[in-house]
Amino acid sequence: MGRFRLFNEEEGLTWRSFLAIVFSAVVILPIQIYMTLATPISVAWPAVILLLFTELAYFFHSPLSRQEGFIIYFVSSVAIGGSVLVEGMIPFLNFPYRVYMVQSPYFKALGFDKEVPWWFVPPISSEAILKRTLLHPDWLFYIGLLILGFIIYLGTILPMTFILAQLYIEIEKLPFPIGRVQAETIISLTERDPERFDKFILSAVIGVIYSLILYGFPIITLTFFGKAFSVTGSMIWSFLDLTQALQVIIPGAIFGVSLDLLNVASAWVIPSYLVITATIASILAYVVGNAIALKLPLDIFKWWQQDWFPGAGLVWLYQRSYFDLWLSAYIGVSIAAGIMPFILEYKNYARAFSNLKSLPESVKKAGYISLTPLLTVYFLSVAASIALFKYLVPRFPIILLLPFVAWGFIWPFISAWSIGMTGFAPAQPPMLREATILFSGYKDLDVWFAGWVAQPGNAPGVIVNAFQVGYWCGVTPKTYLKAAFMAMPLLFIFSLIYVDMFWRMAPMPSAFYPWIEVTWPISVLNWVIWPTFVRKGFLPTISSEFIIGFFLVSAILAVVLKILKLPLAVLIGVLWGITSMPHPLVGATIGVIVGKILEKKLGKEKWDRDKVVIVAGLTLGNAVAIAFAASLLLISRSLWALPY
């Protein structure tokens, strides 16, 4: 029997990369938790952690390999709760939120505080809540329920990941544009080839300077003067809102100007036809469509006509028009994007499933699993989620969950396809769960506290992207997942310790945690709206006519694309456009034009080689600038709290 090796030098899981994972859980995780509670700032920590450890390695004259760089970059995010492998969440941070939720003024005003199910949160009289601690026996059941839900989640995302990897990496060989940027970041920082490293560093410096002005300046002024000053008028927005000016000419239309340099640069690594398709779709929806719907006296547009008012800003009007007008259209296009490739490209799908039936030994060593165990684990996990839901909410009609089983299997194909072509995961059609509960007529409150049928969502596509980056960096899926599973216990253990520590320090929310003092009440308000709708007999405007109409148009478009031998991924461009505000896509279109000019000037071969390096450098610079500014804010807040 071969000796089990914890670390694998060739595959990148070494003591150095594992040290980076531990560092992430012990040092970066509490910073991330506090920033989540106190600020709206988001830092791309994996790039910052990789930069720190590559510099340390070079200082000690022992550079990291690209394999070690990959493990640090992708698995450090697991250790801080930023990876889809852990649902992109910090475990246990939801527990103080639940306690606040059931005691909130909204719950008390509506009488919901008397209908909270026993399995949602311990009794308010519990010592665990009175002392604000998670390290108490009263939380054991809830911790166990959270871990059980997490295991079910892994049981759905991992089998689907291997199926999608076979289809989109091995058979269709999608480009994974953002994956290329991530791979370039890892390779440039670890190997430092002089020709590419000089361009990488110059781009990173430009990214730092630009991002300090756009994102860092508001954070720095907030740190030293107590108020954020920004060219956009907001610490978290990177665009100028031109909507109010546009309302004079085209009422209902929304528009802005993106100031984010990465909006422009990222278009260099995405197929240009997707960017242009998405831009056209977004303008047709949010400029032309919004304006037309505001004027036509049709019942289907009444909610939009009620929600719109002169002087409203871009973000508000985007949210309202999306829900009032374009949600149904998005559902229709999503269904077509999920079904039509199965019909029109059935041979590729059949090959993917066939290849997984009998795997070569070399593929098994890389960590792939054959089809039968994958499907068995997947559907057993889905069944377990249904059984758990039925246990928690015994009176809800279980038959209404079955369509979500089918949709949960189809959506990852759409999502992974989008990620493989554009680098971006599409937003899942929202409120399907809420609409199902509303139409069911179920009146009890317990269903709103429970989860739902386990669905992989966008996670498998994101992990497939990581698999592809791993291949470019010389790391197999087996090693990547092995390292991730080593990081998961660290995340759960240290998040329990740190969330408990922060909760003991001050109530959540409170002045000590100012960001959640704003966001948690809004979150609770958004939650109570839905059960209130049920009890008042109100149903949201999801139009079956819009869904069917946009499905048929999209299906016909897919057939036409197939006949003309054009890429079916145009559907992904349409999906991207329907869910995106126009300004980032207009910025991306400008990027396409700039890219074509540079390609003509430098030559296609040189531009194809350099553009990924430049985007990788700009991305790193952006992360470093925001991390630096956020660190200043964190230090100032810590000093403010020190006397207390």
The 10s digit of each residue's pLDDT in 475-506 is 988 899 999 999 999 999 999 999 999 999 88
| pLDDT at site 10 | 56
- Cβ atoms of 391 and 152 within 8 Å: the answer is no
The answer to whether residue 6 scores a pLDDT higher than 50 is no
Q: Which is higher by pLDDT, 442 or 122?
A: 122
Residue 217 belongs to some domain of the structure:
no
The answer to whether residue 471 scores a pLDDT higher than 80 is yes
Lowest mean pLDDT among 46-60, 211-225, 590-604: 211-225
| CA 107/CA 569 separation, integer angstroms | 45
| pLDDT at site 415 | 86
CB atoms within 10 A of CB 496: 17
Per-residue pLDDT band at 520 (split at 50, 70, 90): confident
Report the chain's mean pLDDT, rounded to a whole number.
84
Q: Convert the pLDDT of each residue in 611-640 to its tens digit.
A: 888 888 888 888 888 888 777 777 766 655
Residue 527 belongs to some domain of the structure:
yes
> Tokens at residue 480, please?
């990547």
| pLDDT at site 505 | 86
Per-residue pLDDT band at 29 (split at 50, 70, 90): very high
| pLDDT at site 2 | 35
Residue 348 belongs to some domain of the structure:
yes
Mean pLDDT of 567-571: 83
Mean pLDDT of 314-335: 84
The answer to whether residue 226 scores a pLDDT higher than 80 is no
Residue 416 belongs to some domain of the structure:
yes
Highest mean pLDDT among 22-36, 312-326, 354-368: 22-36
> Tokens at residue 114, please?
């008397």
Residues 6 or more apart from 90 whose CB is under 8 A from it?
A: 29, 32, 33, 36, 80, 81, 491, 495, 499
Mean pLDDT of 443-460: 86
For the chain, the domain total comes to 1
Residue 124 belongs to some domain of the structure:
yes
Residue 18 belongs to some domain of the structure:
no
- For residue 323, the enclosing domain spans 81-175+238-602
- Cβ atoms of 72 and 20 within 8 Å: the answer is yes
| pLDDT at site 7 | 46
- Cβ atoms of 470 and 476 within 8 Å: the answer is yes
Residue 562 belongs to some domain of the structure:
yes
Mean pLDDT of 128-132: 90
Residue 149 belongs to some domain of the structure:
yes
> Tokens at residue 301, please?
């547009």
The answer to whether residue 9 scores a pLDDT higher than 50 is no
Residue with structure tokens 């989640």? 153
| CA 635/CA 644 separation, integer angstroms | 15
Residues 6 or more apart from 508 whose CB is under 8 A from it?
A: 37, 96, 97, 100, 502, 516, 520
